[in-house]
Amino acid sequence: MSATYDVIVAGSGHNGLTAAAYLAKAGQKVLILERNDWFGGGCMTGEFVAPGFRLDVHSNAHHLIQANPLIRNDELGLLSKYGLKYIYPDAQFSTIFDDGSYIITYADLDRTCDSIAAISPRDAEVYRKFATMSRETLPLLVSGLFVPPVPQGSFWALLDQSPQGQRLMHMLQKSVLEILYEYFENEKVIIHLAKFASEAFVGPDQKAAGFIVFTMPGFMHTYPGGLPVGGSGMLIEALMKCLQAQGAEFRLNTEVDKVVVEGGRAVGVRTRDGETIRAKNAVLGTIHPRLLERFVDGLDERVAANARRVQTASYAIMSQIFALNEAPKYHAGEEPGSALIAGFGSSRLEDFRRTFDDFRHGDLTAHDAIISAMVNSNYDPSRAPPGKATLTLYGFGPFELRDGGSAAWDARKDEFSDWLLGQYRRYVSNLDERNIIGLRFYTPLDIARHSPSFQNGDVTGVGKFFHQIGGHRPTPELSQYTVPGVERLYLAGTFMHPPGGVTGGGRATAIKMCRDLGIDFERLCR
């Protein structure tokens, strides 16, 4: 029998570490257990391709976390004490079309409108009004994002009490394209906005996802996405420094096999090698709902059944990372290529829509490609040796391929790696073999293997469907970060509220845990 801790955390993704850091700051004796030989989950930076080239495999730019009081108010001192730094490029997202035209969304609203006006003066004026409406709704939205969600019924009643809330209710019931059709006319403008919304893993025709494209301008022009200096893994380093300063302990290569439950209460964990470690106050697990039954014996059947049924996003992601002799040169010019995220694709809305339809049928290459690129060394010289460059490509596609299912990704890995690179080469002039020092390609199946939280290659954990957001994320029973029938067992992860990406969502789990443990969370953050 091992030593007893106040809180045991199974998994070291950024959500679990965030919750752990708040608890350690409150004086809890915390132990973090990680099954891998590295910490960080999806926030992972390293020299995976060539020496001196620091590349991110999964998370890259950090968007939603910028609105989180964790960062906005620096509640844990990650910025002021523990070395975390962000770069905020003005050019946030661009779409470069196959005819050489482009649109850029800047953090600055006026510059964004000027870019849209080059394509459609009418839609530029509409976008200004659309972004203003989005900003007006933002305080209401942000107030509920990084705290435990209210029950869904109460949430709807709250929204119905104000014009801004009623507008959000409207957006919550429609698809991205249905919302965009209400406001915009030009196909390129619609594609540009829908494509950025798709970065949140919601397809253009997905019902009840319109709120993504509506809230996006509010966030973009108020809390622009940040590029962590040194890589996405620097968030993990800062969290670990914070935890170490509070006396937390860490163990690598220690896989939790079971949550130990006695008398209906979580009292510790059992590792795969048979060790039992006790927790006096709580166990926090980054346990995907589909896997909950493996870790917790005797779950209520309704809780277990709903957890098994959670849906992942309707498409998955693949990534390709490069070490380059020089930065890519775009046919469309330097300006659109310098955006934090540059997207590419057809200028025809029909092609854009059909590509997402193809994903549902297991097809990747039937129509257009949905790809994005990030050249982080443009902004952060620490990412590459002097004069060199990094490049990260992302592509969307089905997890289950039409011929062979998900297993076919292994057999066809080289084929799809060449395909993704070939799609990108349509937009650049200098990405031949002489420029490429090295590259690695990760299929959706590789990404699913990377973390149990990335079921079906979905890095958002579970899909952002209406029945899986807010007080129903990931299920109504699990939405309060607890497991009915098992006291003092808590959940954190990308599959919980707030949904997906690098959000610092473990803050909400910490709030719930502090309430149950009698800890004043507000005082903790002063």
Calculate mean pLDDT across residues 518-524. 96
| pLDDT given at position 368 | 82
| pLDDT given at position 164 | 84
Domain membership of residue 497 (yes or no) is yes
Cβ proximity of 315 and 359 under 8 Å? yes
Calculate mean pLDDT across residues 209-235. 97
Tell me the per-residue pLDDT of 146-179, one tens digit each, with 9 for 90 and over: 999 999 889 889 889 988 889 888 888 999 999 9
Cβ proximity of 109 and 96 under 8 Å? no
Tell me the per-residue pLDDT of 75-126, one tens digit each, with 9 for 90 and over: 999 999 999 999 999 999 999 999 999 999 999 999 999 999 999 999 999 9
292-295 contacts at long range (C-beta below 8 A, 24 or more positions apart):
292/478, 292/483, 295/256, 295/257, 295/258, 295/259
| pLDDT given at position 526 | 85
Calculate mean pLDDT across residues 132-136. 95
Domain membership of residue 492 (yes or no) is yes
CA distance 41 to 62: 15
Residue 266: is its pLDDT beyond 90? yes
In the structure encoding, which two tokens stand for residue 263, read together? 């008398």
| pLDDT given at position 390 | 99
Angle at CA of residue 123, ends 119 and 125, nearest 5°: 115
- Percent of the chain beyond pLDDT 70? 99
Domain membership of residue 236 (yes or no) is yes
Tell me the per-residue pLDDT of 275-294, one tens digit each, with 9 for 90 and over: 999 999 999 999 999 999 99
Q: How many domains does the chain have?
A: 1
| pLDDT given at position 2 | 59
Calculate mean pLDDT across residues 303-324. 98
Average confidence score pLDDT of the chain: 96
Structural domain harbouring 507? 4-44+232-311+461-524
CA distance 207 to 466: 8
Whichever domain contains 252, its CATH number is: 3.50.50.60
Domain membership of residue 82 (yes or no) is no
Task: Determine how many CB atoms are found less than 10 A away from the CB of residue 81.
Answer: 13
H/E segment holding residue 391: strand 389-397
| pLDDT given at position 301 | 96
Calculate mean pLDDT across residues 416-442. 97
Residue 1's pLDDT band, with cuts at 50, 70 and 90, is: very low
Domain membership of residue 240 (yes or no) is yes
Provide the strand spans (E) within 172-285: 227-228, 249-251, 256-262, 265-271, 276-285
Domain membership of residue 480 (yes or no) is yes
| pTM exceeds 0.85, yes or no | yes
Domain membership of residue 413 (yes or no) is no
| pLDDT given at position 182 | 97
Calculate mean pLDDT across residues 30-47. 97
- Percent of the chain beyond pLDDT 90? 92
Domain membership of residue 450 (yes or no) is no
CA distance 204 to 344: 16
Residue with tokens 């409207």: 170
Q: What is the dihedral of CA 144, 148, 151, 157, to 10 degrees?
A: -20
